[in-house]
Amino acid sequence: MIRGSRDSMQTKALHRARILGVPIAEAAMMHELSVAESILNIAVTEAQKHDAPAIECIKLRLGAFTGVVRDALEFAFEVARHGTLAESAVLEIEIVPLRTKCLNCGCTDTPAGDFCFLCERCGQPVEILTGREMEVEFVDLAEALELTKRSTEWNGFR
Ligand SMILES: [Zn+2]
């Protein structure tokens, strides 16, 4: 069922892209590419703040209800990181599941698939507790050469 509706959505987008003369892959990538660029901006700013020569890992918390496709984001990141301090960085993605709470009866749910924003128990509207996150949790930075040297000396001293 879900698969079916997703397929029909893809067909529609493909048709539109043709009319506009935009290559399909590019049109589909647009959103994820701008997300990847924002992630890189955050990470690079942080690296520059600490004078780090490179970024080793970027940890991202990504809500299941953001509309961002993980595979597409990973691909966009691979493309966007070239020539940045994150050129060889690993993008670690934690998917935060969608969790809702009913405003009327207070029951919580973790809906999967098609989701209508109404409580399964009483039919009243629900609020979203988690699932909309899109945040860089942390950035692992490579140490500057000087720092590495110092820590080696410290280990030797021990
Ligand atoms: Zn309810």
Distance from the alpha carbon of residue 109 to the mean position of ligand 1, in angstroms: 10
Q: Which residues contact 118 (CB under 8 A, 6 or more apart)?
A: 124, 125, 126
For residue 119, is it within any domain? no
**N- to C-terminal Cα distance for the chain?**
63
pTM: 0.69
Q: Which domain holds residue 77?
A: 2-97+131-141
Lowest mean pLDDT among 1-15, 19-33, 110-124, 132-146: 1-15
Beta-strand pair 55-63/90-96: parallel
Distance from the alpha carbon of residue 100 to the mean position of ligand 1, in angstroms: 10
Distance from the alpha carbon of residue 57 to the mean position of ligand 1, in angstroms: 41
For residue 27, is it within any domain? yes
For residue 149, is it within any domain? no
For residue 120, is it within any domain? no
**pLDDT tier for residue 60 given thresholds of 50, 70 and 90:** very high
Lowest mean pLDDT among 1-5, 40-44, 65-69: 1-5
Lowest mean pLDDT among 14-18, 90-94, 139-143: 14-18
Distance from the alpha carbon of residue 104 to the mean position of ligand 1, in angstroms: 5
CATH code for position 62: 3.30.2320.50
CA 114 vs CA 5, 61, 117: distances in Å: 10, 22, 10
In total, how many domains does the chain have? 1
